[in-house]
Chains A and B, each alone.
Chain A
Amino acid sequence: MRAEPQFAFLDEGSKKEIRRATLKAVAIPGYQVPFASREMPMARGWGTGGLQLTCSLVGKEDVLKVIDQGADESVNAVSIKKLVQATTGIPVTERTEEATLIQSRHRIPEIPMTKDQILVLQVPMPEPLRKYEKKESITKRLHAESEYSGAWLMLFEQIMKYGRTTTGADHPVLVNGRYVMAPSPIPRFDNQKMDHSEALILLGAGREKKIYAVPPYTEIRSLAFEDHPFKGEDFSGKCCRFCGATGVFLDELYIEETGVTEYQCNDTSHCADRLERQGEKEVHHATV
């Protein structure tokens, strides 16, 4: 009754099937490829789509980084790392540039990724038209016919009601001029990082049983009307309270003791990296 653990949890047949779906996804950028999502030892909705991609791709030479909402040490990121490590023994890292495989929930790292890396994004709701049309059989048809009025209509309605679009994260994008895609709930700030990304970006939705992809150097355009250009979250005039970074996605914190709102890098490893380099500089200065 006791079973020996499989390398990367899944049996080889399952991995092959997931890789086949992944190849198809790469071949048709932005198209949601259905796949027979396996049950994972983590709850559906907690990144099982991403995890299945990671497990199907990981080899013995890989170095894994996992981030959750920007943080390497977030409990869920730790939990995913533990599982992959326990079943593969591969090293994990927090440094973006060291990783070959990065699984992330809702963020794209601040450091530009390279052609030697794969970014795996976890997706809760892969269907960008779902709020407009609840039936899968119909949305599938709408994609086939390139009928995206619904996605635009939702933005138009927001502009009519509030004077501007009010999308939060997961602002829909047009992939390679063909498929409208949910970029997963990354902030609007990160949408531009997908455009002509050097790294392969794979998106996995375990519960909804879909895999889709943005192959390297693919054009990604955030949906926006001509007279209402797309805007990311605005952090102008703000910087990280630790490393001083600007032009990055910041978390907003209310400091109880002082009663002041402060900001800090959301990408924790990027922040730590900057701090470390600043520290080296200081040390350098001290020795001179």
Chain B
Amino acid sequence: MSTLLSVKHLSVRFARKSKGFWGKPSGFVSAVDDVSFTISRGETLGVVGESGSGKTTLGLAVLRGVEPTEGTIELTVGDTVVPITSLGKRELRRSRHHMQMIFQDPYASLNPRMTVRDIISEPLVAGAGDWGRLGRKAVDERVLDVALKCGLSGDQLKRFPHAFSGGQRQRIAIARALVLNPALVVCDEPISSLDVSIQAQVLNLLADLQRALGLTYLFIAHDLAAVAYICDRVAVMYLGKIVELGTTRQVYFTPKHPYSEALMSAVPEPDPDAPRRPILLSGERPDPANPPSGCRFRTRCRYATAICADSVPPLRAVQEGHLVACHHAAALKLRGALDLGAGAALAAAPGGAIDAAPQSAQAR
């Protein structure tokens, strides 16, 4: 698979004011600190982490919704490499149609005074790339085509957002993101404000659209089960840094970073008999403006030793495609999600884990 997005040494720092109205900048917060990763065409990379880990800032920075402080972002469209980070304002605007975003709250992200047709067509009218030259009729055709793909009907296009439920609004937001036929879609918590029964609709819609249109997703979410469902690879963030990156299976079932281990062990699986031995992290997330020296997780890590305070562990491969930033990654024996449950069941299943018949998964 060819690389679509390549992010190297990306950092985003925000100036931080001292207390009071007249406060002067005093230091900065590293929301994203020296993050590198790539996404292949047609792949979904999940970004998980707790609030304040920098995952939303990372998503915005990839689109230059916030300006990166350092680092490079390159998008390879066809044979051309678009150097996102070095584009000027107008060039960036012209390149916007390659990358679009879906936001968390469809009640806030749709203009209540615009019809659905106008909302979906706005990116076309705003004129990124070749799309700006479409006539009204062609715009209408394009809007209808995308709306139908997203599960909306033609007569709904005349209505206003208030007439739609949360799930349908998110469909409108997805249609708006897809109308320019982007190569990359950044999904920032696209399902977390929806009801359980509707979340499944949107997850499946995103998966179907990806298959049909060859989309590439950067999928940011805190719902670890949803990320496991839709993502090929997963990056775990803690305090602005990627601490682990690998295939979904590697990160979930054989995590190599103590933070990933704690995260995975805490996922509440909807099964009353699932084995439950959550690793309870002690303490609180440190202030991101004043992160601990060395490894940022060391203050809450049960395996931390002297070296963790002294030097920052680099993100390095422990096996093919599985990167971990931990000094002790090679030595630690960590538990994955469903350590006993799925692992034991998979091992016991006839014909090996991956070939196990789907019926056995739904024994209930």
A and B are interacting partners: no
Using CB atoms and an 8 Å cutoff, list the residues of chain B in contact with chain A.
none
Using CB atoms and an 8 Å cutoff, list the residues of chain A in contact with chain B.
none
